[in-house]
Amino acid sequence: MYVAERIDFRERPRNFGQFLLDWGILSASQLLTAHGEMALADASLCDVLVSSGVLTADDAYRLQADWLDLDYFEDCHLLCDPDVLNRFDPRLCLKHAALPLRMQDGHLLIATGRPDPVTTADLGLPGPARDARFVLAPEPAIQARLAAHFRADLTRAAATRVPAAESCRNWGRNGGTRIMLTMLALTVLAALVLLFPKPMFTALMLWACLTLAIAATMKSISFLSFLTRPAPRAPGPPHPATPWKRPKVSILVPLFKEREVAQVLVKRLQRLTYPKSLLDVVLILEETDTLTRAALDGADLPGWMRIVIVPDGQPRTKPRAMNYALDFCRGDIIGIYDAEDAPDPDQIDRVAERFAQAPDDLVCLQGVLDYYNAGQNWLARCFTTEYATWFRVMMPGMARLGFAIPLGGTTLFFRRDVLERLGGWDAHNVTEDADLGFRLARHGYRTEMLPTTTGEEANCRVLPWIKQRSRWLKGYMVTYLVHMRSPLVLLRQMGPWKFIGFQLHFVTALSQFLLAPLLWSCWLIVFGLPHPLTDLGSPALIRGLSVLFFGVEICTMIFATRAVAGREHRHLLPWVPTLHFYFPLGVFAAYKALFELVFQPFYWDKTKHGLSL
């Protein structure tokens, strides 16, 4: 294989800082400040100077080229030999910001945007051993050339990174068969209901009651675990004796038709206290999204924020966009924010510190999601209460019990090497977050809840709420079916305990939404109206069901009350009883999700943001 001549800073007669001092580009105080940041951060001097505004990115490239005695190529000089370039892995070239140009005087000429040690072996080229020579060029120009040349390959790879056995992408090939089988199943079900109405009603009613009882039991155990088992200690800085530098963190922010929040997002991310020299915020835009691009054109993006354009393709989903942008990232930790997010300022600091202390099998950190527009209307208040119950009580309780947990779609942070090894996100799954949470567990990795909060915008209108929830429920259905393709394999990979938790979580959640109308019918008994159960069941059975329904409602109130009892949420306490009227909205979403599962399994019903601005 080619072995590139390494660029070694130690071989230079003077370091880059001294070079800048000698030329009068830096003052001694500026250099001292920069070195103080470098002592605690895995960043180069150029990263620090550009992020602090001392140098522009273009000046930094030119000065490094002078210091290293390398030629500097502008964008117009990056002319590639396609036969040479096609021998390389485009994803590795993007990752290392290296563009193989051509053979020159028997040597391979490579343009690099990062003067770090790199070899052609790092770029995935097998072949005879030869030396390579480097020129320096702007990293954005290099990545743009790679993206243009390998457009078809990168677009296809973004949709197929996850192995086919763990993806739902093949469902689109048999749409006619899926619809035909669904129609057949519905016909059989309708015939059974018509022929045996009372037995069918009884069977479905018993299943609804059973799953309701199981769900309540599981939530109660998780609640008790949350109350009684100690929470993981908040991470602090690594021990002073441990050599540690803060790593570079890339944050993926997928944007699609986000004109209302794009500029607000930039301001919110600027509040992050993590060293900007180590932040790599990638704003991901779809090629067809001219609205968001126009909005960002008016925003003054700092040097640590950049835009990656995703080529148009199918499916047009958030996970496909993140798969495409993943190779453009510079960080060892990959994070995700949504367009409307407002994270705690010290959030990235806490993520980096926790990963520095964590064992290798802890590869994902999930932050707490909250809503900053809880007072907007009744729906926003209930949505905020539901999120507080899930992220502040149930998920921590499930994690302390040792269950695998479905991830939220934002405030997620991953070790990059593991994320790449697992193939990133399933581009065809509309709840790629929940799917990835269980794929991590299947491969022996752990997720931990991190006590840091990100504010989001609660859906405060009924129709958008139903659309968003239908996408989540459809994704839940898809995730369950994908992972249950081979139940024995799933059992072996996850182990009995996590396997049981997986079954209980999905089966009860989906059953409760789809069969809720059967449970609602029991109100007929309360008002003395005719109901099938009054003919089929004894008074003891009716009393037992009444106790079950009443007990579940009481438990729901207790869980929600505990979740919003803190100082930030206690204004929601009077609204907790109204959750009884909030959760039924999910039934409409469930049947919309079931319809789309058959007819539009990959359709992404976009959530509109900015309604609270």
Sheet containing 132-136, strands listed edge to edge, beginning at the edge strand earlier in sequence: 98-104, 107-112, 132-136
Residues 159 and 94 in one domain: no
The rounded Cα 171 to chain-centroid distance in angstroms is 23
> Containing domain of residue 144, as a range?
9-149
Nearest to 338 by CA among 286, 400, 392, 261: 261
Q: Which of 128, 149, 170 is the last residue of a domain?
A: 149
Q: Give the pLDDT score at 10.
A: 42
Q: What is the CA radius of gyration of the chain?
A: 27
Buried b (16+ CB within 10 A) or exposed e, 273-282: ebbbbbbbbb
Residues 211 and 91 in one domain: no
* Residue 430 included in any domain: yes
470 contacts 589 by C-beta, under 8 angstroms:
yes
Q: What is the pLDDT of residues 250-270, one digit of tens each?
A: 999 999 888 777 778 888 999
Secondary structure of residue 215 in the 3-state scheme: helix
Q: What is the pLDDT of residues 88-114, one digit of tens each?
A: 999 999 998 999 999 888 888 899 988
Nearest to 351 by CA among 339, 375, 374, 368: 368
Q: Give the pLDDT score at 6.
A: 44
In the predicted model, is pLDDT for residue 51 greater than 90? no
d(CA 283, CA 152): 21
Q: Give the pLDDT score at 7.
A: 46
- Least confident range from 301-305, 307-311, 419-423, 532-536: namely 532-536
Q: Give the pLDDT score at 544.
A: 81
Report the number of distinct structural domains present in the chain: 2
In the predicted model, is pLDDT for residue 9 greater than 50? no
CATH number for the domain harbouring residue 423: 3.90.550.10
Contacts of 368 (CB under 8 A, 6+ apart): 391, 392, 411, 449, 450, 451, 452, 453, 454
What's the pLDDT band for 240 if we cut at 50, 70, 90?
A: low
515 contacts 211 by C-beta, under 8 angstroms:
yes
Q: What angle do CA 350, 502, 174 make, to 5 degrees?
A: 110
Residues 134 and 197 in one domain: no
> What's phi and psi for 245, nearest 5 deg?
-125, 145
Q: What angle do CA 234, 240, 244 make, to 5 degrees?
A: 85
Predicted TM-score (pTM) of this structure: 0.91
Q: What is the pLDDT of residues 504-538, one digit of tens each?
A: 999 999 999 999 998 888 877 766 777 777 766 67
In the predicted model, is pLDDT for residue 379 greater than 60? yes
The residue behind tokens 């109405």 is 197
In the predicted model, is pLDDT for residue 241 greater than 80? no
Q: Give the pLDDT score at 4.
A: 39
Q: Which of 106, 131, 149 is the last residue of a domain?
A: 149
Q: What is the pLDDT of residues 344-374, one digit of tens each?
A: 999 999 999 999 999 999 999 999 999 999 9
365 DSSP β-pair partners: 413, 448
Q: Give the pLDDT score at 245.
A: 84
Residues 192 and 232 in one domain: yes
Q: What is the pLDDT of residues 186-196, one digit of tens each?
A: 889 889 888 88
Residues 347 and 431 in one domain: yes
What's the pLDDT band for 129 if we cut at 50, 70, 90?
A: very low
Mean predicted confidence (pLDDT) in 477-502: 94
Q: Give the pLDDT score at 309.
A: 95
Mean predicted confidence (pLDDT) in 303-320: 92
Give the strand pairing for 249-255 and 342-343: unpaired
What's the pLDDT band for 238 if we cut at 50, 70, 90?
A: low
